[in-house]
Chain A
């Protein structure tokens, strides 16, 4: 019995030893002679685990579900049932069209704050959809996707700053073409190579673009260090540095035909999303999509049967860059504000986590992943206020649970990291993935 658990016990002991100082000790800098000490801080570690306790409960429930399913075989029973299968097929056939009026009618039934949250979710869905084209369908890793998102947003913001009239509906199609162009130029040198160069180049691009936007500012305090060229550039394109750009009223989503700005932004985002889903799905089931799939499964074999590998990879990459740029314009038009933070590395990681969670290569999976990773933390944050508002709930739920729910949103990225690792190890096909995709992911 012990021998079976030995590797796990050793692993846990090792991880406990490795994380010991960071969890249970705290640095105590000594300012008199600039040295350092540590103090024993057990509350620190307990707080960490306490804040994560809801996650442990959820993880335990998932584990329990998996074990029970393995014992009773529910999924097989469901799959074997002909009625269910037929219903499922009919549903997948019609549901996509059915959701269109449903989603669009939400415009008139929800409060402004809900609509603004849904718009944000829609923008992330658009990003996940775009990233899914490269990462999921073509099998190319992109780590700086937020760079293109930022490109779209800054393209819009800088253009409306310099032109007297430049609203979102002019910016979106232009951003699509320019974003695609940037993707094409960026992909050209590295997509001809095999391996993971694209991942690093896009990562570098996002970081370089962010730095460029942070530094191209007119009122920079140390502008003496800038060369004349950079000063001239900052004069035309003033990004405002870290403070960002506040957009003109005329560029944003405004009152149109009795709709408020919030309603319009929701409606437009939803329409763009539907259009994008439709186009991407048609493309995926076309010869182009087949070529992407072939490249994903085996690049050499794909080239051998005549797939123009480089062109197809470039197409996938430019298209996903273009989608991100459009998402950037929508972001700018919704919030009326653009700052360098939107192309931070953590945005790229968030979108990647969405695609992986939902299922690499599955369009609806990407949408589901975006909805989950956006809405769950948001509602977890709202849950404590909701509990305190209701007298029955606040008497049942103890205070520390409410506190840990409140703190949980800080742990978002930590959990995304863990989700990425666990998904790759146990369910590489994602939530909505097929068994075929799992085999593909686990064997070269």
Chain B
């Protein structure tokens, strides 16, 4: 990123950051939309996706040698399967039995799962940062497209494209398919949904699985973008993605993407103005401002409280 005007660079940087947050925020917003609860372990599922991808690529490279596209593609697939598995386990252990409990109970158990997973990776994989193998990310990070005076890497394009595709896919899924109708019915009233024959348990499990698989994609993208894997990556990105989801209106799919983009751009501007170490402070300031002025988020509609 040496050539080109600074403002466009910031714009591009902000949008690719925002796209990553969007992929994670979608998982938060979907679970919130269906269950009305924050999935606190979502960030850790994202982190598991990062590590699962690297392990899988290592295994494949031992098994049949270093083929970039094949190993990376299969690695992402394995990461999605693993993250989906962890997401499902999280739902079964921390949420299902506590669905009718006081709000504090599932929140606490999810924080327990999240702490457990973080320190599980901390103890079994690495206490330090692990580098993403550059061999696989080099092609995407070193090739550029020249666009209005700036170089955009293939990776940034891929992240942005994936986010758009996934957002559209989710929007269609929720609003125009039978599964989407079942999802919305479950979100509205679980008892009534089950009375008309919707398998509520399976629908909720599906929400967790889908959200987790998306988080795995985001995890691999972030790992390639920042080149670093670390056990508490999920906590940091998770906090930001959650802020993005609230910003856009939690429970709302386009809202999550919009919120994430705004957050990404704000962060890029903060980096320019004060330095990258002030990211968290601006994120937090944004969150407070939104809660003060528009508590339901930018695209969130006012919903009456259920008693």
Contact: A18 with B274, CB < 8 Å? no
Q: Is there a chain A Cβ closer than 8 Å to B77's Cβ?
A: no
Residues of A within 8 A of B277 (CB): 211, 214-215
Q: Is there a chain B Cβ closer than 8 Å to A396's Cβ?
A: no
One of B119-127, B164-172, B254-262 at the interface: B119-127
Residues of A within 8 A of B133 (CB): 29-30, 34-36
Residue of A nearest to B133 (CB): A36
Q: Is there a chain B Cβ closer than 8 Å to A37's Cβ?
A: yes
Q: A27-B125, A196-B38, A199-B38 are known contacts. Are A139 and B102 too (CB-CB below 8 A)?
A: yes
Which one of A33, A222, A345, A420 has the greatest number of beta carbons of chain B within 10 Å?
A420
Residue of A nearest to B232 (CB): A345
> In chain A between 180 and 223, which residues have their CB closer than 8 angstroms to a CB of chain B?
189-190, 192-194, 196-197, 199-201, 203-205, 207-208, 210-212, 214-215, 222
Residues of B within 8 A of A28 (CB): 58
The SS class assigned to the B binding surface is helix
Contact: B109 with A38, CB < 8 Å? no
In-complex Cβ contact of B136 among A35, A207, A226, A352 (8 A): A35
Contact: A207 with B280, CB < 8 Å? yes
How distant is B117 from chain A, measured CB to nearest CB, in Å?
A: 8
In-complex Cβ contact of B112 among A45, A192, A417 (8 A): A417
Residues of B within 8 A of A143 (CB): 111
How distant is B97 from chain A, measured CB to nearest CB, in Å?
A: 6
> In chain A between 250 and 282, which residues have their CB closer than 8 angstroms to a CB of chain B?
none
Q: Is there a chain A Cβ closer than 8 Å to B195's Cβ?
A: no
Contact: A135 with B287, CB < 8 Å? no
**Interface size, chain A (Cβ < 8 Å):** 79
Residue of A nearest to B101 (CB): A442
Residues of B within 8 A of A90 (CB): none
Q: A27-B55, A29-B131 are known contacts. Are A414 and B305 too (CB-CB below 8 A)?
A: no
In-complex Cβ contact of A204 among B51, B55, B86, B243 (8 A): B243
Residue of A nearest to B290 (CB): A189
Contact: A208 with B281, CB < 8 Å? yes
Residues of B within 8 A of A416 (CB): 112, 115
How distant is B142 from chain A, measured CB to nearest CB, in Å?
A: 12
Residues of B within 8 A of A207 (CB): 239, 280, 284
Residues of B within 8 A of A425 (CB): 93, 97-98, 109
Contact: B134 with A34, CB < 8 Å? yes
For chain B, the bracket of interface size reads: 35 or more
Contact: A135 with B104, CB < 8 Å? yes
Residues of B within 8 A of A37 (CB): 58, 61-62
Contact: B119 with A413, CB < 8 Å? yes
Contact: B123 with A14, CB < 8 Å? no
Residues of A within 8 A of B102 (CB): 139, 440-444
Residues of A within 8 A of B125 (CB): 22, 27
Q: Is there a chain A Cβ closer than 8 Å to B210's Cβ?
A: no
Residues of B within 8 A of A417 (CB): 111-119
Binding site for A on B (CB under 8 A): 37-38, 51-52, 54-59, 61-62, 66, 82, 85-86, 89, 92-94, 97-98, 100-109, 111-126, 130-131, 133-136, 138, 235, 239, 242-243, 246, 273-275, 277-281, 283-285, 287-288, 291-292, 295, 305, 307
Enumerate the 8 nearest inter-chain pairs by beta-carbon distance, A residue then B residue, closest first: A420-B112, A417-B116, A417-B115, A225-B275, A208-B284, A38-B58, A421-B112, A35-B135
